[in-house]
Chains A and B, each alone.
Chain A
Amino acid sequence: MNDVLLMLVSILDSTIRVSTPLILCAMAGVFSERSGIVDIGLEGKMLAGAFAAAATAAVTGSAWLGLGCAIIVSVGMALLHGFACITHRGNQVVSGLAINILASGLTVTLGIAWFAQGGQTPQLSGDARFAALEFPGAAAVADVPVIGAIYSELLSGHNLLVYLALLAVPLTWWVIFRSRFGLRLRAVGENPQAVDTAGISVAWLRYRAVMCAGILCGIAGTYLSTAQNAAFLKDMSAGKGYIALAALIFGKWHPKAALFACLLFGFLEALSVRLQGVQLPVIGEVPVQLMQALPYVLTVILLAGFIGKAIAPKAIGIPYNKER
């Protein structure tokens, strides 16, 4: 019994670590896409943020400066995306892809030029990383059955950015559904003409939305390079931005549902890591390939049958043209 519990706690613990960048990126996607801007560029902004964070932290020795720099760089990329597809009404998918390619190439090139380690940054340690936070009393209650394990393993012992990601969800929900800015943001994603008629600038609203997305992607990138790992590595985002995008659609562009989609993807990933090479009762050892395919298979099944139709914001992907 205790073994099963420990295994479960360890899987859930790993789920939280794996899901953190997905959650941050999905919330970024909520802001951007709810305002009508398709955001394929989540991946690129996260990668650029990861590089900026690791490079700054390596030079200054401060993870906080790294976080700040990552947010600035990521917002810069978001503004570039905005400039192309809000001001110049370019194709949003093409612009987003361009952001991804730019980030993938530029990070490595700058990395080679600055650190001469083939696009990697030096290894970070100490204050240059976000260390694990121990909740008060975590060690004391660790021996208490069930609750102790959950409190000391699952809830305590993550780094600050993990908690920040979990806080980002209610915050995003509040901003999108309860604030005036959020109401306008949703309106501009559904019917920009109406917003324009009411005398509110569509472009400025959308710019603010992509900037919010940039901030969140920057935090996600910082998590990758200074918290989860301890250096920037080439293409270290490894498709997480796209998975977050899938989670966003899966969650019907709603923060809460997207959170659960991210946690589900993270859980399946964690499960596939844990179950590799383990003898299961009845079934025996499951082949590695099957375990690794599981998240994708489940996504297809769930998307096909269980969540129903995912309806996008009406004006998504359409550049707003004031005069016709």
Chain B
Amino acid sequence: MKFQLLALSAAVAISASATAADLKPAVVFDMGGKFDKSFNEGVYNGVERFRKETGIKYKEFEVTNPAQREQAVRKMAQRKADPVISVGFAQASAVEKASKAYPDTRFTIIDMVVDQPNVQSVVFKEQEGSFLVGMLAAMKSESKVVSFVGGMDIPLIRRFNCGYVQGAKYAVSNAEVISNMTGTTPSAWNDPGKGGELAKSQFDRGSDVVFAAAGATGAGVYQAAKDAGKFAIGVDSNQNHLHPGTMLTSMTKQVDIAAYNSFKAAQDGSWKPGINVLGLAEGGVDWALDEHNKDLITPEMKAAVEQAKADIIAGKIVVHDYMADNTCPAMN
């Protein structure tokens, strides 16, 4: 866990107030809810681990509509919570405003960059993890058609999509990738019915492996894959256990470690503002192999993916980042 060392070794600027006794951490979850079995749940697992290890309780809030975000983040700062973890890109503007209004409060935002002196931004190289699961999908596919279901149509999700396409085409050069987005509003994270319909339409067009990066909408995609006897790939948390035999793998983002480290660093005084970019090299993203999917992954697939992983870390394969220039050459 290079990444943990990274955060812990960055021990500077010890704030006197940050002793265990009066640490009042807080989390603001986003629209999917803290049990979305995916992104928010990853953060929940991280802060729960912190609570169990240290006995320090945290305040929490689940945002249920977009208007609550700013109010929720400010409220936490107002109630002297510190540090405050904001989950998700959508809370960026809320964090930006709150961090200006409460310059003494430390904020950690996950999945987005907010450039303020008291904000720590944790972002992931989703394209690298998606590349690996894209390879697995293409290698597993018999029709050589694989597909992608995104949640809300935003650059971040297109980054997943773009990495996935690149990986699929890297493994099988003539692979075809069908890509769909669930919607353009935040409700796209919470629409399993539509997710299932999208997946079914992709299966009708020949796809036999589907990757969902869509929050709770993914549940519908996985169910559709299970009902149709196809394969699905989970996202953010390790979702292999949801439907063993159907879930080919999961593209994991170590949001739990990011959340845990933020609290932990605040506790021992090593919390530092700035941008943390976590890719394959830092262990921030990865693909999941466990007892639920080990029968689906052949030794050849595993070897190819591990080789690509090493190559990406070594810089031999460069995965294009959609958000760098808002284009995806692999999809044209």
Contact call B204/A10, Cβ cutoff below 8 A: yes
A276–B194 Cα gap in the complex (Å)?
13
Q: Which residues of A contact B41 (CB under 8 A)?
A: 118
- Give complex CA distance A238, B191 in Å: 7
Q: How far is the CA of A2 from the CA of B323 in the complex (A)?
A: 40
- Interface status of A81 (Cβ within 8 A of chain B): no
Q: Confirm or deny: A229 has a beta carbon within 8 angstroms of a beta carbon on chain B.
A: yes
B216 interface hit (Cβ, 8 Å):
yes
Partner-binding segment picked from B28-36, B91-99, B118-126: B28-36
When the two chains form their complex, are residues A14 and B201 in contact, meaning their CB atoms are under 8 A apart? Answer: yes
B105 part of interface (Cβ distance < 8 Å): no
Q: Which of B33, B200, B201 has the most CB of A within 10 A?
A: B201
A218 to chain B: closest CB distance in Å?
A: 18
Q: Would A238 and B33 be within 8 Å (CB), given that A224-B193, A228-B193, A273-B197 are in contact? A: no
Q: A235 at interface (Cβ–Cβ under 8 A)?
A: yes
On chain A, the residues within 8 Å of B179 by CB distance are 277
List CB contacts (< 8 Å) of B187-239 with chain A.
187, 190-194, 196-198, 200-201, 204, 216, 219-220, 223
Chain A proximity of B129: nearest CB distance (Å):
22
- Whether the Cβ atoms of B180 and A118 lie closer than 8 Å is no
Residue pairs across A and B with CB atoms within 8 Å: the count is: 72
The complex places the Cα of A18 from the Cα of B194 at a distance, in Å, of 9
Query: What residues of B have a CB within 8 angstroms of the CB of A119 in the complex?
Result: 33, 35
Are B35 and A120 within 8 A (Cβ)? yes
Residue interface mask B36-51, A partner, CB < 8 A = 1:
1000010000000000
Partner of B196, one of A123, A229, A288: A229
Give the distance in Å from the alpha carbon of A7 to the alpha carbon of B196 in the complex.
17
Are A229 and B181 also in contact (CB < 8 A) when A117-B35, A270-B197, A273-B201 are?
Answer: no
In the bound complex, residues from chain A placing their C-beta under 8 Å from that of B71 are none
Residue interface bits A232-272, CB-to-B below 8 A is 1, else 0: 01111011000000000000000000000000000001100
Are B197 and A14 within 8 A (Cβ)?
yes
* 8 Å CB contact of A118 from B34, B191, B192, B198: B34
A197, CB-defined interface residue at 8 Å? no
A119 and B220 CA atoms in complex are apart in Å by 16
Contact of B312 with A by CB under 8 A: no
In the bound assembly, the distance between CA atoms of A289 and B179 in angstroms comes to 14
Contact B192 A229 (CB under 8 A): yes
B282: interface (CB < 8 Å): no
A191 close to B (CB within 8 Å): no
* Known contacts A288-B184, A292-B183; is-contact A234 B33 (Cβ 8 Å): yes
Asked if A309 is at the interface (CB within 8 A of a chain B CB), the reply is no
Among candidates A123, A229, A274, A289, residue contacting B193 with C-beta atoms closer than 8 Å = A229
Closest B residue to A117 by beta carbon equals: B35
B191, A18: Cβ atoms under 8 Å? Answer: no
In the complex, the answer to whether A233 meets B216 with C-beta atoms within 8 Å is yes
Contact present for B190 and A229 (CB under 8 Å) = no
From B181, B200, B219, A276 is in contact (CB under 8 Å) with B181
Contact B194 A273 (CB under 8 A): yes
Q: Does B178 contact A (CB under 8 A)?
A: yes
| Chain B residue nearest in CB terms to A11 | B201
How many whole Å from B155's CB to the nearest CB in chain A?
14
B242 within 8 Å of A (CB atoms): yes
B47 to chain A, nearest CB (A): 14
Q: Which residue of A lies closest to B180 (CB)?
A: A276
Given A10-B204, A120-B35, A277-B178, does the pair A238, B190 have CB atoms closer than 8 Å?
Answer: yes
- Among A17, A228, A273, A289, point to the contact of B198 (Cβ < 8 A): A273
Q: How far is the CA of A90 from the CA of B196 in the complex (A)?
A: 40
Question: Would you call B201 and A274 a contact (CB within 8 A)?
Answer: yes
User: Is B153's beta carbon under 8 Å from chain A?
Assistant: yes
Interface string of B154-192 (1 = CB under 8 A from A): 000000000000000000000000111101100100111
Q: How far is the CA of A234 from the CA of B65 in the complex (A)?
A: 13
- B190 cross-chain contacts in A, Cβ below 8 A: 233-236, 238
Instruction: Output the least CB separation between B328 and chain A (Å).
Output: 12
Query: Is the Cβ of A229 less than 8 Å from the Cβ of B219?
Result: yes
Contacts of B196 in A (CB 8 A): 228-229
Find chain B residues with CB under 8 A from A228 CB. Answer: 193, 196
* Chain B positions 99-132 with a Cβ under 8 Å from a chain A Cβ: none
| Complex contacts, A235 vs chain B, CB 8 Å | 190
Q: Which residues of B contact A270 (CB under 8 A)?
A: 197
Contacts of A18 in B (CB 8 A): 193, 197
Q: How far is B180's CA from A270's CA once the two chains are assembled, in angstroms?
A: 13
B43 to chain A, nearest CB (A): 13
Bound-state CA distance A20–B183 (Å) is: 21
- What are the residues of chain B within 8 A of A276 when measuring CB–CB? 180-181, 198
What's the nearest-Cβ distance from chain A to residue B226, in Å? 8
A277–B242 alpha-carbon span in the complex (Å): 29
A229 near B220: Cβ-Cβ < 8 Å: yes
CA distance A117 to B180 in the complex (A): 28
A–B complex contacts, Cβ < 8 Å, 14 sampled:
A6-B204, A7-B204, A123-B223, A229-B223, A231-B219, A233-B190, A234-B33, A238-B194, A273-B194, A273-B197, A273-B201, A289-B153, A292-B183, A292-B184
Identify the A interface with B (CB < 8 A). Answer: 6-7, 10, 14, 17-18, 117-120, 123, 224, 228-231, 233-236, 238-239, 269-270, 273-274, 276-277, 288-289, 292
